[in-house]
Amino acid sequence: MKRIWKTGVMALALATPMAAQAQLTDAERAAVLARLPADDGSDLADATRGKIAEIPGGLIRTSDGKTVWDAGAFDFLNAETAPSTVHPSLWRQARLNRIHGLFEIVPGKVWQVRGYDIAVMTIISGKTGWIVVDPLLTEEAAAAAMQLAESKIGKRPISALLFSHSHADHFGGVGGIISADEVKKRKVPVVAPHGFAEEAVSENVLAGNAMTRRSSYMFGTALAPGVEGRVDNGLGTGLSVGTTGYLAPNMLIGPEGGLKTIDGVRFDFLDAAGTEAPAEFLFYLPDFKVLHTTEVAVKTLHNILTLRGAQVRDALRWSKIIDKALVKWGGSSEVQIASHNWPTWGQARVAGYLENQRDAYRFVHDRTLGRANSGMTLH
């Protein structure tokens, strides 16, 4: 666990997810920093690498002037040193998450649009058009992200959609980039993990009102951005505000995963159901040596029992899925990307990142059971 800072699995996991905390004294801040490895700047280099363009001011509005996203509200994060109200790890994470724009991952082949919603949109060049992975939470944010991308990499039809898992921030914005009628007319593949529809309905409809209400407390959405208010939530700066929709998948990836060709691009899928989401996959692009870890491995440590009421995660299975990805692709992946946060570049660094993520979830599982079982007598 020596490289925890580098993987993003930091003291952030123990901090309030989005809101500022009670003030830290100088001595307390110094003690926190002394426990953390020194920041060598590699994460900042990764988070800015390949940047092509950005939405001016990071501002997205609806046609009638309502604000969907305002990156400028977080300009207080320009300060390098964390104020006394914010944990240093949370401050560092927030500064990296707020870097926004269109980024080239593989020249002419793979791009990401980051920093305009809690999630990240990935765009892959297919044989006949753009393959879009995770079209954000709201239609307005997705439309603005796609417009930014097309202004620099060209306008092509969307040839396939991938929903990595059953949480709305990874599919809710689909209506902003393509309509259901167009999908049906052109027979566009809409790819999702098995169980996707059932789990999406369960969380967003059956328990939708309760989870939305609880999420507002968990993520502090009613708090104004600032050093004494909303700072970041680990996965991203916050949630876009707009129209959320749904599109039924027409191609499911089963528990067996495996190699599929989608619009001329090879995808090697690994089932990750029961980890971060009840229905989820991750995938490797062998032609580009890119590993997409969706939300199974991101630059923070997830809750195992979420405050918003999502299903309890299986930390043991989670660690095993990351280990499978490490064994299958850790020796060949030249870059790791995900549906949140920034990439990791370099084969050795990708392998190390996966190792640390795996070990963090296994540590939570093992120590929790160890403490739960200690002192117990069986009869």
Question: What pLDDT score was predicted for residue 18?
Answer: 54
Question: What pLDDT score was predicted for residue 65?
Answer: 93
Averaged pLDDT, 194-203: 88
Q: d(Cα 93, Cα 349) in Å, to the nearest integer?
A: 19
Q: Which residue has the tokens 């129209």?
A: 243
pLDDT in tens, 224-266: 999 999 999 999 999 999 999 999 999 999 999 999 999 999 9
Averaged pLDDT, 97-106: 98
* Helices then strands, each counted (H, E), the chain: 10, 16
Q: d(Cα 214, Cα 310) in Å, to the nearest integer?
A: 10
pTM for this prediction: 0.91
State yes or no: pLDDT of 118 exceeds 80. yes
Averaged pLDDT, 85-108: 96
Domains in the chain and their CATH numbers? 4-373 (3.60.15.30)
Burial class from Cβ neighbours inside 10 Å (0-12, 13-18, 19+) for residue 197 reads middle
Residue whose C-alpha is closest to residue 134's, from 287, 292, 269: 292
State yes or no: pLDDT of 15 exceeds 90. no
State yes or no: pLDDT of 6 exceeds 50. no
Question: What pLDDT score was predicted for residue 338?
Answer: 98
pLDDT in tens, 310-354: 778 999 999 999 999 999 999 999 999 999 999 999 999 999 999
Q: Which residue has the tokens 């207080």?
A: 76
Averaged pLDDT, 270-295: 97
Question: What pLDDT score was predicted for residue 163?
Answer: 98
Mean pLDDT of the chain: 90
**More confident site: 151 or 26:** 151
